[in-house]
A and B are shown apart, each in its own frame.
Chain A
Amino acid sequence: MESIIYLEDVHKRFGRVHALRGVNLRIQKGEVLVIVGPSGSGKSTLLRCINQLEQCTSGKVTVDGICLDSAQNINAVRQEIGMVFQSFNLFAHLTVLDNLVLAQKVVRRRKKEESRQIALDLLKKVGIPEKAHAYPSHLSGGQQQRVAIARALAMNPRIMLFDEPTSALDPEMIKEVLDVMLALAKEGMTMVVVSHEMGFARAAANRIIFMDEGQILEEAPPDVLFTSPKHERTKLFLSKVLQS
């Protein structure tokens, strides 16, 4: 299998905080990778280094064979990587439809009709075609997050990154978002997910990574990691997370 994302000895410092301490990671095409770990362990930073929302201090990030070292490369690669945020970040001044159309028009230079059609199809896919002309503030959190996923998918990304997509949601809305993500995983999308949804990890993940203090402490398929974690730290963390 070819690896689509390749991180080599990645370090990230925020001033005096050393957020990532030498991360090495290969992600295969079509793989669903879930990153877990305590808060402050560098999960989100790692994810944001993949599409360079955070520039890593040292180390090499290669996505889809393109090394992320110049601004030009970064914009090119970002088109191939969809990202979903904890706080949705829908464009507040645009309707749902225009949220999906904007980047297609500006970045992909698609025709208006074509991009609208793609947008409407995707809204159908995430289950809210009737909200096409609503503004984000009129949607529930779960609906907003599904729109955000559709917006990312409209660019036909080859990789999807999810940064705690369900952490800001009410419990009853988590499922609708996870269902969309599960469907996406079944279609063979390459996904990197930072999440504490262990149910999702068990159902969809090929591999789980446990991070602590800026390093990858342990990685294994979900059934292995959940039943027989190697490190004490992982055991402690899992016992707390799985309890709830």
Chain B
Amino acid sequence: MFTRREPKIDDQELAHIPGAEPQNRIDVWWWLVALVAGIIIILAVAMPDPYWRIILFVRDGITITVLITVVSFIFMLFVGMLGGLGRISKNRAFNLITTLYVELVRGVPLLVQLIWWYFAFPVVIQQIGRWTGISFMATYRANAIVLAIFGFTFCYGAYMSEIFRAGIQSIPKGQMEAARSLGMSYFQAMRHVILPQAIRVILPPVGNEFISLLKDSSLVSAVALADLTRRGREFMAVNFNPIEVWTMIALLYLVMTLFSARIVNWIERRTKFER
């Protein structure tokens, strides 16, 4: 007589399956965020001159950078959704306009676009105002922040449209058919069935867009906006200490991007579902 041995499952013996890790473990990359933040604090405390002075000086630049990034990002989500819906729309006009928009915008460098919106666009408005005699257009003055946000939204909205299009198209056709067969209209099906699933699919690329936007926002220093980069340049012009200034600016950008990446990762894991 023999007894059958219960197979023992040892955690160590189980094959490692990517993506099957326990969900609630603290994300180890937070340590990197802490490390960079720590370096900034150590530098500021150990050598207040120049590091603490730099931070104080560029503080309002950080505000501008964050403001432009966050506001543009919110607008570009709407533009992206609209553009994405247009790209898959059967309505010829809607489809043509959005496709044209995406193709044109993606073909022009972001810096050139920003410069165009800031320097050329106001003149165009003024010209039109003069021809038509509408006075508030003729005396239009460029608002740097508004035009920067507009420029970013316009440019990134095109990339975002493609992300939304791909995300929506990645949802199996049967989901739409099932929703329609239950009597939902196209928009009801989009809103309640397709988009909630598509958003989870596009979260990683959309998060990446946020991070590249944060970095690309430094381009506005070319159009007279006192963002983080520009404030750094101003500080350096007076004190002439490039190593300290640009190291500190780089660290400040780094801590913001690393932090954003962790937030994106956290949201991604919270909203995950199995297909």
Contact = CB atoms under 8 A, between A and B. Distances in A.
Given A89-B174, A107-B188, A83 B181 contact: yes
B180 interface: yes
What band does the interface of chain B fall in when counting residues whose beta carbon is under 8 Å from A?
20 to 34
Interface in B166-184: 172, 174-175, 177-184
A92 B275 contact: yes
B193 interface: yes
B196 interface: yes
Contact of A103 (B172, B184, B196, B275): B184
A51 interface: yes
Interface in B143-189: 172, 174-175, 177-185, 188
Q: Which of A92, A138, A151 has the most CB of B within 10 A?
A: A92
Contact of B183 (A93, A107, A148): A107
Given A85-B174, A102-B192, A53 B180 contact: yes
B90 to A, nearest CB: 12
B233 interface: no
B274 interface: yes
Contact of A78 (B174, B175, B180): B180
B180 A93 contact: no
B200 interface: yes
B174 A155 contact: no
B178 A91 contact: yes
Interface residues of A, number: 28
Contacts of A88: 174
Interface in B119-141: none
Given A107-B188, A137-B275, A93 B182 contact: no
Contacts of B174: 85, 87-89
Contact of B181 (A78, A93, A106, A135): A78
A206 interface: no
A75 interface: yes
B177 A151 contact: no
Contacts of A135: 273-274
Given A85-B174, A91-B175, A107-B188, A51 B273 contact: no
Interface of A: 51, 53, 75-76, 78-79, 81-83, 85, 87-93, 102-103, 106-107, 135, 137-138, 148, 151-152, 155
11 contacts: A53-B181, A78-B183, A81-B181, A91-B193, A91-B197, A93-B196, A103-B179, A103-B182, A103-B184, A135-B274, A155-B182
